[in-house]
Structure 1
């Protein structure tokens, strides 16, 4: 390679690196900042599964009473097409009955057990008297002004359509987030929103022709699928992220290091521990979090249940934290100074 070609290559690479670094720090030079409809700092995972039975009205009520910014919950569809709030499709773990939600009508669903393990807190259980599996519409009616994060747990077209219709029916597009780790489910959420938008557009034309009024359609914000999270990481470490437009509004990721506290160390191989350590190093990046938040994308880290975990997430620039212990997180935030 000639010295001229080498100089040209180095100058091009240098220009790329400088531009990438500049746009990483100041992304609004290239991208319009997304408008944030609300900010979720305190997020109650399954309503606060460490203080009340998960995904119950009692859990959601408790979290809202202490001032949570957002409720996180999971949805499934029953045989009679009712959208219910439950983490598991099979109810063996949560009710003791080995049956799938989709095989039963809502009135046939068994109640939750009186005591359940806290998934993200090893060797901990939570007890509660409210053991009814609620409907999603129950949550919408009880907490009309509280932002809700909905995890669409199964790849079911009816479930996705029903959730979308409920959100629209209760006028919650501006305070609802939905999606799943599955790329396919997220794409179906986008597709359903396009259908809803088209139906709304047709309705608007009809209404405007009659009354002169126009109804504004609003999309439901969507969080990143796992595939898209991995893509964002690849773009970040190659310096390409500042140049790429992003459609999602919420970046929800686990803190990999918490896996170490959920398993017995002696049961984990050296390679497993290394992979967890490496994942944690790659994913928990302040520069990444700062770039996304500068673009108006909220960064949520889950599921954290200890003060040192809360502190680490917020020190790294996370917008919010999902926890099973809403009271503990509330007390931490009261004393925390970023």
Structure 2
């Protein structure tokens, strides 16, 4: 009896493994490929924070002129209810004024500083022309109006039902459901986005990334449907390489272990290829150097998010195999 059970169990396990491997290689046997209307190799982070004042109309315009495929931006709600494009909720870093966007009317927002450090290139500070028209905050509505055909990636920065609803209304007003991606690391925010409008392309939240990895390493991923359309994750190894280039960087040993673990678990070409076959796009952020661009595309990433649109554009031109 025991021997028979072992044979049955072995047969079931073997069948499961074979089915998992087969469907991982050919997921469209049971999953219809998602029909996303665009493909983006070149994504400008905050409009290209290394070449223009971040999240401004000038940055977005110049990134589009440089040939970017997608604009990435962040949204907050002002005191008088306008959806404004800004990464930070507090204005101290970007303007020098210690005030939250939610506490001030849109018309009273201060100008950006003439010099802005880059979050993902900490040794560099962007220094622009200083002209006022280049340093003003912009409304999401203005971005939609000026770039009707450009895919836009929106990070909903705070868990606000009003903000999510207003962003949704603008997406619908400008008929951008198929050319917009939205969500946040927060699972709560991303779930609300999906509930409000499931027709808009959706990001994986951090919680869903963890679920994705559990499904991958248990062999269950090929059997599960995924509502998300875009996986946006950072390339962990770049932080280790930047540490080597900058020994004074404040990395704790535990931090290094975590980064190495994330790199080993997440950066799997087989995972990216599987998602691609299911029509899900994978973007790696925020990459600012040629070796990082090369590694991302060799891993099978659909696109790269950068602070330097011109630099990434040149890389793609010089390396047509990655276009």
Q: 2-side partners of 1:89 and 1:325: how far apart?
A: 23
Across the aligned residues of Structure 1 and Structure 2, the Cα RMSD in angstroms comes to: 1.3
Match of 1:61 in 2: 61
Displacement, 1:89? 0.4
Displacement, 1:265? 4.2
Contact 2:33–2:277, Cα closer than 8 Å, also in 1: yes
| 1:259-274 alignment runs, 5 A limit | 259-261=239-241, 265=247, 267-274=250-257
Match of 1:213 in 2: none
251-260 or 88-97: which moved more? 251-260
Match of 1:227 in 2: 207
Match of 1:117 in 2: 117
| 1:144-163 alignment runs, 5 A limit | 144-163=148-167
TM-score by length of 2: 0.94
Contact 1:76–1:101, Cα closer than 8 Å, also in 2: yes
Q: Does 1:296 align with 2:279?
A: yes
Q: 1-side partners of 2:141 and 2:2: how far apart?
A: 70
Q: 2-side partners of 1:250 and 1:256: how far apart?
A: 18
Give the secondary-structure state (helix, strand or coil) at the position aligned to 1:301.
strand
Q: 2-side partners of 1:335 and 1:24: how far apart?
A: 33
Match of 1:307 in 2: 290
Q: Does 1:190 align with 2:194?
A: yes
Give the secondary-structure state (helix, strand or coil) at the position aligned to 2:197.
helix
Structure 2, unpaired ranges of 5+: none
Structure 1, unpaired ranges of 5+: 195-218
Displacement, 1:10? 1.7
Q: Structure 1's 261 and 59: CA in aligned 2 closer, same or farther, altered over 3 A?
A: farther
TM-score by length of 1: 0.90
The structure 1 residue matched to 2:219, chosen from 216, 239, 262, is: 239
Contact 2:194–2:200, Cα closer than 8 Å, also in 1: no
Displacement, 1:275? 1.3
Contact 1:122–1:262, Cα closer than 8 Å, also in 2: no
Displacement, 1:102? 0.3
Q: Deviations along 1:66-115, whole A, 9 cap, x unmatched?
A: 11000000000001100000000000000000000000000111110011
Give the secondary-structure state (helix, strand or coil) at the position aligned to 2:71.
strand
Match of 1:135 in 2: 139
Q: Does 1:256 align with 2:236?
A: yes
Q: 2-side partners of 1:296 and 1:268: how far apart?
A: 37
Match of 1:34 in 2: 34
Q: 2-side partners of 1:270 and 1:84: how far apart?
A: 39
Q: Does 1:281 align with 2:264?
A: yes
